[in-house]
Amino acid sequence: MIRTSENITELCAALTAAQSKFGAAIKSSQNPAFRSKYADLTSIIDATLEHLNAEGIACMQHPDLTYAGEGENREAMITVTTRLQHKSGQWMESDLSIPAVQRDRFDAQSCGSAITYACRYALQSICLVPREDDDGNAATGTGTKDAAQAVAKKKIEKAASEGSKTAQNVLKQADPLLYVFPKSHNGNYAEFFVRPYLQTHPEDEDGLRMVFSAHKAKKTKEETALVPSDQMDSLLNALAGDYGVTLYQLEAK
């Protein structure tokens, strides 16, 4: 939930001016789990902070360790509060929580990684920072959500027209992460079939867990992930745009 001062008119005007000057955050860091590049926290700060400060806006990010659930379901969470504070005294802030336990480890390294991840995603989302490849991919569309979706859809539709067996083979070759908007959920949630994807990409499990947790995903008994529809644009951009995961939307039955 977003929290604000009673009045934010001056802050919004200043933020609008700052956003018009933001550059793209360069994808210069390598993600070994997803075999792709992403824009790290430093890139996000480089693209935003100078212009925020020039308009009288300070950005603060405060981490905290909290616990969610009870009993055996109790889970350690890192919560980062990001505040934009204008020189007028007006402000707005919001929280982002992700698991502090990674690879069954709960120590300074796992907490530090969670803090960095939360800070990066919170600042990137709040400021609407565009991301750009540093190796020419931006010019060709490689690595973007639309490109990933188009490739998967083209292969699957072509194979489907040739028969179901061929379609299954192409699905396997493309290795897409499948998702659907089930009619039973009235479009409020999208369901991602994570387990089949991890059978061919087991090295991605920790990374997917962090990405889905950051987007309020709920795990089902069938080991699928339910994601609120209002999180979908950000999640699809993160999966396909940041990490190069091929996605394909199935038709709801």
Model confidence at 168: pLDDT above 60: no
**Same structural domain for residues 168 and 199?**
yes
Do 70 and 100 sit in the same domain of this protein? Answer: yes
Of all residues in the chain, the percent with pLDDT exceeding 70 is: 71
Question: Looking at 80, 110, 133, which one is the last position of a domain?
Answer: 133
Residue 145: its pLDDT value, please? 43
Domain boundary among 133, 160, 176: 133
Q: What is the pLDDT of residues 56-96, one digit of tens each?
A: 999 999 999 988 878 777 889 999 999 999 999 999 999 99
Q: List all residues 6 or more positions away from 163 whose beta carbon is below 8 Å from its beta carbon.
A: none
Phi, psi of 18 (to 5 degrees): -65, -45
Domain count, the chain: 2
Q: What is the pLDDT at residue 201? A: 78
pLDDT exceeds cutoff 90 at 176:
no
pLDDT average, residue stretch 3-7 = 96
| 221-248 confidence digits (pLDDT tens) | 878 899 988 888 888 877 876 677 778 7
Whole-angstrom distance, CA of residue 74 vs CA of residue 120: 25
Q: What is the pLDDT of residue 11?
A: 95
Are 180 and 207 within 8 A, CB to CB?
Answer: no
Is a pLDDT exceeding 50 seen at residue 16? yes
What pLDDT is recorded for position 221? 80
What percentage of the chain's residues is helix, strand, coil (to nearest 5)?
45, 25, 30
Whole-angstrom CA distances from 159 to 109, 147, 154, 197 are 45, 18, 9, 19
Residues 162-191: what's their mean pLDDT? 65
Q: Are residues 106 and 36 in the same domain?
A: yes
- Extract long-range pairs of 74-83: CB within 8 Å, 24+ residues apart: 75/99, 75/101, 76/100, 76/101, 76/106, 78/111, 78/114, 78/115, 78/118, 79/118, 80/115, 80/118, 80/119, 80/122, 82/119, 82/122, 82/123, 82/126, 83/59
Please tell me whether residues 90 and 193 are part of one structural domain: no
Domain check: are 185 and 118 in the same one?
no
- Say if residue 59 is in the same domain as residue 117: yes
Q: Are residues 121 and 190 in the same domain?
A: no
20 & 121 share domain: yes
Structure confidence at residue 245 (pLDDT) = 79
Same domain for 99 and 163, yes or no, is no
Read off the pLDDT of each residue in 167-186 and give the average, rounded to a whole number: 64
Residue 189, Cβ density class (10 Å: 0-12 exposed, 13-18 middle, ≥19 buried): buried
Sequence-distant (6+) residues with CB within 8 A of 217 are: 192, 225, 226, 227, 231
> 207 lies in which domain range?
141-249
Cβ(82)–Cβ(59) under 8 Å? yes
With contact defined as beta carbons under 8 Å apart, do 230 and 134 qualify? Answer: no
Do 99 and 159 reside in the same domain of the chain? no
Q: Where are the alpha helices (DSSP H) in the chain?
A: 9-19, 41-54, 108-127, 137-140, 145-161, 164-174, 194-200, 205-214, 232-236
| 4-27: average pLDDT | 87
Q: For 175-190, what is the mean pLDDT?
A: 76
Residue 194 predicted with pLDDT over 80:
yes
**Are residues 115 and 185 part of one domain?**
no
Say yes or no to pLDDT of 31 above 90. no
Give the best-scoring range by mean pLDDT among 13-17, 195-199, 230-234: 13-17
What are the pLDDT digits (tens) for 102-149?
767 788 888 888 898 889 889 988 888 875 544 434 333 444 444 444
> Which range is least confidently modeled, 17-21, 183-187, 190-194?
183-187
pLDDT of 143: 44
> 116 with 63: CB under 8 angstroms?
no
Among the candidates 133, 157, 180, a domain finishes at 133
Residues 126 and 146 in one domain: no
